[in-house]
Structure 1
């Protein structure tokens, strides 16, 4: 498949979800399966993964996954009582950021990479609404590795949505999504393979 034909398929395969107070679009095959598999192996071997601690109920606890915060030098990020300074860009991750930026016509200058070793590792309900991200931030989420269920729920209304994010899928959360919706990656005991998720963001420079 040529680069041009794959780009055409990306656009034609978009799934748009009609939700209140949010703009949500999924491209199930944004990366081809072989690209996704190769990228996963490279990131597992080459990045400095850490199981960081965050503050919950006044105590420091280890997060149930491994992560890397990466981006431009000014992109410090604080959540759950912990401030993270970015690691320098890994070449392929920076290229991905540029490709996704060109594809979505949106700027990105930082990314949170989460590595889930199996279905027992997870992320609880939250919103990516930290002040550094500004009002109505857009989040581009790229999944590689094992297929995992991704769940969203509205803060005030009885709206819920569950998606199976397959390897190579790209999900864009935009509009007022982070104000009105929470999302999580629940435990799935039957999942034995690992998954990496890259959530690309944009933080303005104060300079």
Structure 2
């Protein structure tokens, strides 16, 4: 498997990265606010016939009455906090793209992870736009091209914004691997648009 570090200016088509979308102080203030005030959940998931808690905490936010879940689990839907609703509206205006839902991931330290996946579920529609705001500890995002297994490592800084759109989910998988020496937490805000159906399964 080929592996290389990504220059943010040389990311594959469908990926764009801005390292300073939020100032250091705004990133820190928002991190501590969300860490304290969001309702964190840790659902069990079933993978390869094994059931156990996901290796991170989550919060799902939407104004719609979705039943949100994946791998036979469900998350309680929470309402939009004012600060995140304001951020969503700014992103919608900047991207000219509706964003009606937000999945927040809380990585408590380097042992919390996210496995290989694509955000390509039918509920997200064709060529979905996923907007990821990173807060807290710097983590490595791995991008793997499906056709070649080539892997790119991208360092996600606090206050950065990664946009995935176009054919990014068709052509690539992504993951957050373990970094066992990392003691500090990270929060990831992933804005997306989900079609209004009764149940969204991820």
TM-score (norm 1): 0.86
Cα drift, residue 81 of structure 1: 2.2
CA contact (8 A) 1:17 1:24 kept: no
Q: Of the candidates 107, 112, 116, which is equivalent to residue 103 of structure 2?
A: 112
1:155 maps to which residue? 146
> Aligned-pair distance for 1:69?
0.7
Q: Is the 8 A contact 1:78 1:130 kept in 2?
A: no
Would the aligned equivalents of 2:118 and 2:169 in 1 still touch at CA under 8 Å? yes
Larger RCO, structure (CA 8 Å, separation 6 or more): 2
- Secondary structure of the corresponding residue to residue 82 of structure 1: coil
- 1:64-108 CA-to-partner distances (Å, cap 9, x unmatched) read 000001112144433222243521111111111111212222110
Inter-partner Cα distance in structure 2 for 1:17 and 1:74 = 39
What 5-or-longer segments of structure 2 have no aligned partner? 1-7
Tell me, yes or no, if structure 1 residue 24 matches structure 2 residue 15.
yes
SS of corresponding position for 1:108: coil
Work out whether residues 16 and 24 of structure 1, in 8 Å CA contact, stay in contact via their aligned partners in 2: no
Which of residues 179, 184, 198 in structure 1 aligns to 2:189?
198
Instruction: Show the counterpart of 2:5.
Output: none
Tell me how far 1:16 sits from its aligned partner.
4.4
Q: TM-score, normalised by structure 2?
A: 0.88
- Give the Cα–Cα distance (whole angstroms) in 2 for the partners of residues 169 and 18 of structure 1: 15
Task: Give aligned pairs, total.
Answer: 191
Q: Which residue of 161, 175, 178 maps to 2:166?
A: 175
Q: Which residue of 1 aligns with 2:59?
A: 68
Partner of 1:140: 131
Runs of 4+ in structure 1 off by over 4 angstroms are none
Please give the alpha-carbon distance, in whole angstroms, between the structure 2 residues aligned to 1:194 and 1:206. 33
2-side partners of 1:77 and 1:131: how far apart? 13
Return closer, same or farther for 1:46/1:25 CA change in 2, 3 Å cut-off: same
Cα offset for 1:158?
Answer: 4.0
CA-atom RMSD, angstroms? 1.7
